[in-house]
């Protein structure tokens, strides 16, 4: 399998909730846990918690919750607060935690083993590892020199040190006629307005389900990202469109792929079609994620790495009965360890 990745010219890597570490609950369970901790707040808006936890019931509940969430800043803020403040596995994942698995996926992508990186996850584990590479202590002399002069290193917990060419991290872009600026290549593609920032030099993470931690103006799209989210909060007026209020940039489940993300998915789907290999890890492909599974199953060279085959059609994909850890270990094994 890993040789297939090495040989491919334009592989895509699609990651789902199964790669979160420590494991976080799936979508419905998150809402369920939030609801149980906020019964009074939900009751205030007329939403009763259902006793039965049957699939159909939780679906109805999540539907009602989604509608309420979209229209109620108080619920949005309470949800964000609950996701980010605390010490549960879920909250740790949202604020980021060092992880070899996520580092290996990010570095494999930066080193060109994968051309496209896709995640359905709300957490920031990939971004956390990516941002680490921009921190000065990953540069050889501990300073922050001219980006192109020094390759960036990363050491995995097994002691393997690998190198990332700075050209994968930075790009020298013209700001005006005679001014140039080093800019980070990576960016996030979630909403339609993000597509405007897709240049030939950008390396996008296709975060197709968004994150409650992203804020967006209905008029100009998402701009307040992750760590910078504290500067602006849900319900604040947009700095450019004071008549608009910021809302979480999030695509809630169940076939109701939000309208703004349809163009993003369309664009990504074209790229998946052109890929010579699609590797999926930790994505069950059930329920609201069926549309991704169907696109992957339509691809002529798709590999699914997961301990359980679940609903994947084994006739259409190559099934690898391993977990994210094994895929990560295999990738670490082929990452360049010499000075790039």
Binding site for Zn ion (CB under 5 A): 217, 219-220, 238, 240-241
Q: How far is the CB of 258 from Zn ion (least distance, A)?
A: 17
Helix (H) or strand (E) holding 253: none
* Shorter beta-carbon distance to Zn ion: residue 166 or 222: 222
Q: Which residue do the tokens 């592989």 mark?
A: 11
Structure tokens of 185? 């290549």
Closest CB to Zn ion among 168 and 193?
193
Nearer CB in complex with Zn ion: 241/262? 241
Which CB atom, from 168 or from 190, has the smaller least distance to Zn ion? 190
Tokens 């005679």, residue?
178
Q: Which is nearer to Zn ion, 241 or 266 (CB)?
A: 241
The b/e string for 98-129 (b: 16+ C-beta within 10 A; e otherwise) is: ebbbbbbbbbbbbbebbbbbbbbbbbbbbbbb
Q: Which is nearer to Zn ion, 249 or 306 (CB)?
A: 249
Question: Which of 9, 335, 328 lies closest to 164, judged by CA?
Answer: 335
Contacts of 135 (CB under 8 A, 6+ apart): none
**What single string gives the DSSP state of each residue in 198-212?**
--TT-EEEEETTEEE
Rounded Cα–Cα distance for residues 209 and 198 (Å): 18
Minimum CB–partner distance for residue 274 and Zn ion (Å)? 33
Q: Residue 144 is encoded by which pair of tokens?
A: 């922050």
**CA–CA separation, 222 and 199 (whole Å):** 17
**Shortest gap between Cβ of 221 and Zn ion (angstroms)?**
8
- Cβ-contact 155, 330 below 8 angstroms: no
Nearer Cβ to Zn ion (64/225): 225
CB-nearest residue to Zn ion: 217
Name the minimum Å distance from CB 219 to Zn ion: 4
Query: At its nearest, how many Å lie between Zn ion and the CB of residue 223?
Result: 8
Query: Which residue's structure tokens are 């996030």?
Result: 188
CB of 192 to Zn ion, least distance (A): 13
Q: Shortest approach of Zn ion to residue 229 CB, angstroms?
A: 16
Q: What's the min distance (Å) between Cβ of 220 and Zn ion?
A: 3
For 87-240, list the strands marked E by DSSP.
116-119, 152-155, 161-164, 170-176, 179-184, 186-189, 203-207, 210-217, 221-224
Per the structure block, which two tokens stand in for 58?
Answer: 């939780």
Contact between residue 19 and residue 282 where contact means Cβ atoms under 8 Å apart: yes
Closer residue to Zn ion (CB): 152 or 247: 247
Reported as type and span, the H/E element at residue 40 is helix 39-44
């Amino acid at each position: 399998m890993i040789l297939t990745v090495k040989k491919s010219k334009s592989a895509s890597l699609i990651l789902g909730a199964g790669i979160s570490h420590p494991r976080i609950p799936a979508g419905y369970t998150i809402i369920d846990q939030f609801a149980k901790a906020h019964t009074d707040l939900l009751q205030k808006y007329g939403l009763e918690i259902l006793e039965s936890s049957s699939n159909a019931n939780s679906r109805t509940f999540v539907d009602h919750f989604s509608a309420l969430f979209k229209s109620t800043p108080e619920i949005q803020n309470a949800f964000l607060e609950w996701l980010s403040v605390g010490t549960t596995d879920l909250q740790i994942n949202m604020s980021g935690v060092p992880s070899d698995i996520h580092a290996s996926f990010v570095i494999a992508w930066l080193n060109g083993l994968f051309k496209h990186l896709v995640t359905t996850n709300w957490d920031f584990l990939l971004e956390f590892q990516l941002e680490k590479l921009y921190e000065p202590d990953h540069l050889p002399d501990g300073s922050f020199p001219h980006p192109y002069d020094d390759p960036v290193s990363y050491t995995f917990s097994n002691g393997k040190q690998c190198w990332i060419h700075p050209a994968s991290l930075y790009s020298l872009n013209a700001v005006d006629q005679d001014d140039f600026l080093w800019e980070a290549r990576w960016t996030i593609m979630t909403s339609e307005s993000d597509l405007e920032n897709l240049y030939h030099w950008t390396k996008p993470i296709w975060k197709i389900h968004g994150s409650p931690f992203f804020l967006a103006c209905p008029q100009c799209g998402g701009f307040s990202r992750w760590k910078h989210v504290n500067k602006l909060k849900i319900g604040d007026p947009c700095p450019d469109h004071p008549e608009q209020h910021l809302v979480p940039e999030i695509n809630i489940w169940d076939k109701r792929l939000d309208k703004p993300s349809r163009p993003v998915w369309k664009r990504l789907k074209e790229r998946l079609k052109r890929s010579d290999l699609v590797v999926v890890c930790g994505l069950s492909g059930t329920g609201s994620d069926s549309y991704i599974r169907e696109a992957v199953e339509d691809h002529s060279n798709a590999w699914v790495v997961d301990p359980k085959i679940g609903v994947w059609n084994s006739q259409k994909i190559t099934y690898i009965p391993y977990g994210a850890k094994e895929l990560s270990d295999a990738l670490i094994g082929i990452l360049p360890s010499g000075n790039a």
